[in-house]
Each structure stands twice: as structure tokens, then as C-alpha cells.
Chains A and B, each alone.
Chain A
């Protein structure tokens, strides 16, 4: 039968025949991921299961990226648990310190994820790898423990919402705006239990980094996965990151979709998600006199080299407003080095930015940029729930790197074209 992208990838990993959405299937997984917050619980469950070894030590990634460099004694203890487990199990892909980056930027860069893979991670933004054509989804620690032990897990085949983007992108409008606009339209539960499948000429022209930015936020509409076809661009990206044997992937003609949407991007402004939900989206031009205390550029959503270049293009020759703390966190060591070698750090430092290490840090209110009561932050991250970045009385606005950079300069939320 004809399969959409989600069904096609699931089918490649199970012996059961996939015939309809809602069917429960057990699939073999290509990679299992956990981080310094979720791995300790997974390890506890893993041991409770009586498991003594991971299903395949080359197919497990443990990335200590959330509260690292360890922010306090308790986080150091948690990382220690993960480190010792990684050693005990002989896990090949264990990262902390100088080889560690934000997990969803790091794994694609290391060539650990690719088209037609099934990736399960104890982190909700695991859906990022959908940008490469992987069925990638977040789960809790105990589900991940089961996958670590068995190398398989169960899935309910999700109904798919197909989203086509057409038209011509305006200056300063990109992947982040495309996904925010969609979340604004669908709502934070609009894709609950569903797969999102992206396509159309705008998507064909989008970079792999941009596709990952979009896939990353599928979960913010409640989605299980955000899937892109794997085209020549995907294959070139995978080859450049050391992978071999990947093949193109697209939905079958006649595949079934629960819903088909189309969004025209022509004339679309940069989008901003206002407090306190990612679906509270408005065009940047409508936001007036919103002074900001902090701007954060980084994270698994927008901490890649392309994002840093976008921010640098706005910041070049400009300074952050004296009332704004500008924090820039390149997402991986490789991106960090590349930004340094391209001269982006000079631009950032001249603008008065703090350039920090790769870490999830402020995105989840962990460390390195926590907000006090009454403060407002413009951020390239993915969630603006109340209290997400600190005080319950603080506010987070989500936007692209260009808008975050422009807002840092203006001292208020600003369209980059209006600086």
C-alpha cells in the first residue's frame, strides 16, 4: 500500500505490515539517546529491568548537555552516574566536556542520524532529526531504558498532517518563522499524537539546518515527529558528515493524509511567539515598545553556524543596547570553532555579547542566563512556558536569530529591517 513518510520509515523497521494510522507496531531502533537530566532515570529503570548490557553499544548516544559544564554539585553527581554507566557499558558515543554539544545539533554533525532511521531520545526535541528524514521522537526515561535493553520499542502509527509551503520568502524570514507561523495556526495541541510532513517549493529550497530548525519545533504543536523528505541536499549533508549508504526518501504517490494544509509565505513577516505558549504567534511588526533585558541566541533550534551567521549579519558594526544582556551559545564545539575562524566572534564581542560554551543552559532555566522577576527575554529557543527561563514573573519571546539580534541592538523587539 501507499505510505506517507512516517509510515514508510516505520515500515522499514518492522516485520508487521503497516496498513493504517492507529495501528500499534514494534520497531527496531537505529539510535537511542539520553542526556544528563534524563539518563540517570533511564539507568535506574534499565537496572530495575535486570538488563546487564545495552542492545548495541554503537547505537547509544549519551550527551551531557543540559546542566553542563556542571552547574552545581547535584548536576555533577548526575553526570557522574551517566559517565560511569557509559564506561560500564562501553558506550561508544558518550559526550561531555570538550567534545560535547547540544545533543540535537551534535548528533547530525557526527553523522549518527540519517534518512529512514528511527531515533528515540529521552528528550522531547529528538524530533529535530526529522529534518534529515528520520522518524525521530522524544520519550521518557523508562521507555528509553526499554529501548536501550531491547533495541526496539512500540509505536502507535500516527495520522499525518501534510504541510506545503509555497511562495517567496521575504528578507529576514526563514525556517524559524515558517515553523512559528505553522504552530500559530495549528495551536500547541493541533498536531497532538500526529506526524507533521513538510513539503513544497519553499521546503525544497530550505537548507538542512533550516529543516532541522523546523522539525525541532514539531513537538511544540504536540506532534510526534516532523518529517522532511530526504533529497539530494540531505544526501550531500549526510555524506559530508561521514555517512555512507543513505538513500533518498519520499512519500509514496497516493499516500493517505488526515489533513493537508498549505501556507503561502509571500509577504510574511518575521514571526514571534509571545508569552506564555509557542502558539501565541504574531508578526514582529505588531509588537511595539516591548523592551528586552536579555537576548539569547543558541539552542537545538537555532545554535547552528547558519544561525550564528544570520545573527552576525545583523550585529556587524552594531552594539547591543546598554540595557540588554546578549548571550550567544554556539551549539557544538565544531560550530564554535567555525564561528571563531569565520570572524563571527569579533562581531559578537564588538557588539558586547557574552559568547558561552555549547550548552542547553538558559533555554530550560538551567543556568547561564536565568531571568529575574519582571524581566523579558527575546530568545531563539523553542519554549516560552511561564517560568521556563527563570522567574515565574519573567517573559520569553521566541524568534529567529535575526530578530533576536536586532532586538538586542534596539533594546526592544524589532524587525531586523527597521534597525
Chain B
């Protein structure tokens, strides 16, 4: 799958309170959560995002609470993939469970700038920066995560396991 979109760059240690502040956790609706994505970083942040745009972050993206509302808010805002130097652990699991793709690229995250246009090949794990002409090759998605993605996320995966048990 190919995703083409514009980069929205954020810093290091972006916590889940920044991604979706607790006052919005009174709903599980992805549209409502998406409309308030990054509201704890900068009010009105999400207005700049167009469908298929790409979030690029420094280290430890998604640290803090376990709220799954965070990846849901990002997906709800129309962002299908997050590229970062590194991700926080709970957020990492949550994102794959929700079908949000994460690409961990280490220091190469510094080669992506706010406003750059990217073409991301999710199957090949390759990021082409159409603005600078550079290409970043990502570490392959771990097999266990790939199995989850192949199953279509954790929900269908467990559904299958439950059916096998019966």
C-alpha cells in the first residue's frame, strides 16, 4: 500500500495527554477524537491536516497513559502512518491493534521536515521524500506485528482464536 501525504512534524516525548487530552476521553467516537487530535500540543493543530498526511516525530512518541484513544484520534484525523525516531511501548501495541502503521527510523527522522511531501510504501517499508529526493529504508515490521496486520488487527485475530477454541 502506498500513502502519499505531507509531513507534520512534532518533537520528542509527545505524550498521550498531548495527542488527546483527558477531557475528550468521555467518548470512543473516532470522528470526535480525530477532530481533537493534538489538542494538548496546540489548540486547533488538527486543522492543518489533510487526509493521508503523515505525522513525523522525534523519540518516545506516545509516552504516558495507555489510552487507545490516542491512535484512534490520529487515525480519526486522517493520518494513516506515524514515522518516529522511537515509540513508547504501550502506544506501539495500541497502534498496531488499531491498524495505525508505525515506522521506527531512528535518526533518519531528522531527514524529514515539516511540509515535505512523502510517498510511503508500507509493504516495502520505504519512505521516499518527494521534496528532497531522499529515500529512507525502515527496519522491517517484526513478524508478530506483521501477523497482526495480516489478520487485519487484534480484533479479527482473537475472533479467529476463539472460533478455533470452540
Chain A interface residues (CB < 8 Å from chain B): 24, 37-38, 40-41, 44-45, 48-51, 66-67, 72, 74-75, 77-78, 121-124, 126, 138-143, 145-146, 149-150, 154, 188-189, 192-193, 219, 222, 224, 277, 364-366, 383, 385-388, 392
Kindly supply a per-residue 1/0 record for chain B positions 116-127, scoring 1 wherever the CB is within 8 Å of any chain A CB and 0 otherwise. Answer: 000000000000
Bound state CA distance, A24 and B153, in angstroms? 18
- Of A72, A121, A142, A277, which contacts B98 at CB under 8 A? A142
Most buried by B among A49, A145, A149: A49
Q: Are A149 and B162 in contact (CB under 8 A)?
A: yes
Q: Are A140 and B93 in contact (CB under 8 A)?
A: yes
Q: Are B68 and A366 in contact (CB under 8 A)?
A: no
Q: Are B68 and A140 in contact (CB under 8 A)?
A: yes
Chain B residues near A49: list those with CB within 8 A: 155, 158-159, 162
Known: A139-B94, A142-B97. 13 other contacts (CB 8 A): A74-B26, A74-B27, A75-B26, A122-B68, A139-B66, A140-B71, A142-B153, A142-B154, A143-B93, A188-B13, A189-B60, A219-B90, A365-B22
What are the 6 closest A-B residue pairs judged by CB atoms, nearest first?
A: A74-B26, A140-B94, A140-B68, A189-B60, A142-B97, A138-B66
Q: Are B17 and A364 in contact (CB under 8 A)?
A: yes
Q: Are B22 and A386 in contact (CB under 8 A)?
A: no
Does B53 have its Cβ within 8 Å of any Cβ on chain A? Answer: no
Once A78-B26, A364-B17, A385-B18 are accepted as A-B contacts, the answer to whether A150 and B161 lie under 8 Å apart by CB is yes
Q: Are A150 and B66 in contact (CB under 8 A)?
A: no
Bound state CA distance, A212 and B118, in angstroms? 46
Bound state CA distance, A59 and B23, in angstroms? 30
- Of B23, B43, B89, B159, which contacts A365 at CB under 8 A? B23
- Of B60, B65, B155, which contacts A45 at CB under 8 A? B155
Once A50-B162, A51-B162, A146-B154 are accepted as A-B contacts, the answer to whether A383 and B64 lie under 8 Å apart by CB is yes
Closest chain B CB from A38 CB (angstroms): 7
Once A24-B144, A38-B67 are accepted as A-B contacts, the answer to whether A139 and B28 lie under 8 Å apart by CB is no
Q: How many chain B residues touch A (Cβ–Cβ < 8 Å)?
A: 42
Q: Are B158 and A145 in contact (CB under 8 A)?
A: yes
Bound state CA distance, A78 and B28, in angstroms? 9
Bound state CA distance, A149 and B159, in angstroms? 9
Does B86 have its Cβ within 8 Å of any Cβ on chain A? Answer: yes
Bound state CA distance, A222 and B89, in angstroms? 7
Chain B residues near A38: list those with CB within 8 A: 66-68
Does B10 have its Cβ within 8 Å of any Cβ on chain A? Answer: no
Q: Are B89 and A192 in contact (CB under 8 A)?
A: yes
Chain A residues near B69: list those with CB within 8 A: 41
Q: Are A366 and B90 in contact (CB under 8 A)?
A: no
Chain B interface residues (CB < 8 Å from chain A): 13, 15, 17-18, 21-23, 25-28, 40, 43, 59-60, 63-69, 71-72, 86, 88-90, 93-94, 97-98, 144, 153-155, 157-159, 161-163
Once A37-B67, A49-B162 are accepted as A-B contacts, the answer to whether A365 and B97 lie under 8 Å apart by CB is no
Chain A residue with the shortest CB-CB distance to B143: A24
Q: What total count of A-B pairs have CB within 8 Å? A: 137
Q: Are A387 and B144 in contact (CB under 8 A)?
A: no
Bound state CA distance, A122 and B64, in angstroms? 12
Q: Are B154 and A45 in contact (CB under 8 A)?
A: yes
- Of A77, A140, A224, which contacts B67 at CB under 8 A? A140
Bound state CA distance, A41 and B28, in angstroms? 6
Chain A residues near B93: list those with CB within 8 A: 139-140, 143
Chain B residues near A150: list those with CB within 8 A: 158, 161-162
Bound state CA distance, A189 and B12, in angstroms? 10
Closest chain B CB from A367 CB (angstroms): 9
Chain B residues near A40: list those with CB within 8 A: 28
Q: Are B68 and A142 in contact (CB under 8 A)?
A: yes
Q: Are B17 and A385 in contact (CB under 8 A)?
A: yes
Q: Are A388 and B17 in contact (CB under 8 A)?
A: yes
Q: Are B17 and A387 in contact (CB under 8 A)?
A: yes
Q: Can you list 18 pairs linking A and B with CB atoms under 8 Å apart? A: A44-B28, A51-B158, A66-B22, A72-B26, A74-B27, A78-B26, A124-B66, A124-B90, A140-B97, A142-B98, A142-B153, A142-B154, A143-B97, A189-B63, A192-B86, A224-B89, A385-B64, A387-B40
Closest chain B CB from A152 CB (angstroms): 9
Chain A residues near B90: list those with CB within 8 A: 124, 138-140, 219
Chain B residue with the shortest CB-CB distance to A224: B89
Closest chain B CB from A194 CB (angstroms): 9
Closest chain B CB from A359 CB (angstroms): 13
Chain A residues near B153: list those with CB within 8 A: 142
Chain B residue with the shortest CB-CB distance to A141: B68
Bound state CA distance, A44 and B155, in angstroms? 10
Bound state CA distance, A50 and B155, in angstroms? 9
Q: Are A392 and B40 in contact (CB under 8 A)?
A: yes
Q: Are B64 and A387 in contact (CB under 8 A)?
A: no
Chain A residues near B157: list those with CB within 8 A: 146
Chain B residues near A385: list those with CB within 8 A: 15, 17-18, 40, 64
